[in-house]
Amino acid sequence: MASQHYPHVLVTGANGFVGAEVCRQLLNRGFPVTAAVRRVTEFSGSASTSYRQVDMGELGLGTDWAVALQGVEVVIHLAARVHVMQDVFKDPLDEFCRVNVACTETLASAAAAHEVKRFIFLSSIKVNGEQTAGAPFREQSAPNPQDPYAVSKWEAEQVLRRMSAVTGMEVVILRPPLVYGPNVKANFLRLLRWVDQGIPLPLASVQNRRSMIYLGNLVDAIVTCIDHPAVAGNTYLLSDGEDVSTPELIRQMANAFGKAARLWPLPVIGLRVLGALSCKKSEVDRLLGSLQVDSSRFCHDAGWAPPFTLQQGIKQTVDWYRGEFGR
């Protein structure tokens, strides 16, 4: 019986939140991995003969991908400029496009020249918009990017589609919503801290629905895309498949901490006023608004089901938080 062939995979952004776990899972499953990183660091899989790191420094239009692409059959492109709270650039869109569009095009062009078979691109549900009203986003939903990050991801998707049409390199585009899990940062980490500290939160009256995806589920979906024949050339929306309201999410966090959720009701209009007065409008909008994702097409095409439930994902995230910040 012939042994299974595991394609050699290049992972960009390999020391990031998603990238490090992608590398870990690939190595655990037997894939040879080249990790493109800004600087070489210690990594739990670094002793493996199937793993190498390539120091790429800051990505730019002149980045030479030749060494990183040696022997590579599949590229998983995770490196990106993400949301910046206080952007120092006069033209944020220009900087987002420089990194997320132009650098993606440079890498994809080099990958095609090195006869890479498949290019997996991590985009964002923000390409579809910031909120849903009634119906969830689906693959056929019209793009509606509303900030420089989202615009740059949408433009990068179009660049990759054009390049695939010209070169024949297979492209798979994935648009996840908020990703949570061990090592999460930003607003999700802040919410964990509030729940852990028992801070009363005026969110009991919120009746929204939001899709998220646990890191383990996202990584499993990405790995599934490496060699599944049915996903080539497609764009997919991903999620845990379990939508929750903000109060339900807080209750699940509190339960994982073994604590009571301290929620009290404040009318939504009052919350919006507080958000505007505190210059936290976008953060409050995310707590109050709905953003639902229908991931059924990927589940159907790839024969995929999320390996972790929302409850399991929240518990593992809380367990990590306790290990890092527990009192």
The whole-number mean pLDDT for each consecutive block of 10 residues of the chain, a chain of 327 residues, reads: 82 95 96 92 65 89 92 96 60 83 95 98 97 95 94 96 97 98 94 96 94 98 97 98 97 97 91 80 84 98 98 98 87
Q: Hey, what amino acid is at 96?
A: F
The whole-number pLDDT of residue 62 equals 85
Could you tell me the two tokens for 64?
Answer: 């030479």
Q: Which residue has the tokens 């505007």?
A: 276
- Domains of the chain and any CATH numbers: 9-175 (3.40.50.720)
The whole-number pLDDT of residue 14 equals 95
Could you tell me the two tokens for 261?
Answer: 């959720």
Q: Which residues of 87-106 are buried (b: 16+ CB within 10 A; e: fewer)?
A: eeeeebeebbbbbbbbbbbb
Active site residues: 149
The whole-number pLDDT of residue 57 equals 84
Q: Which residue has the tokens 């994902």?
A: 313
Which helix (H) or strand (E) element contains residue 172? Answer: strand 170-175
Given the DSSP bridges, would you call strands 51-55 and 178-180 parallel, antiparallel or unpaired? unpaired
Q: Report the C-alpha gap between 327 and 323 in whole angstroms.
A: 9
CB of 59 closer than 8 Å to CB of 53: no
Which helix (H) or strand (E) element contains residue 158? Answer: helix 148-167
Predicted TM-score (pTM) of this structure = 0.94
The whole-number pLDDT of residue 285 equals 82
End-to-end CA distance of the chain: 54
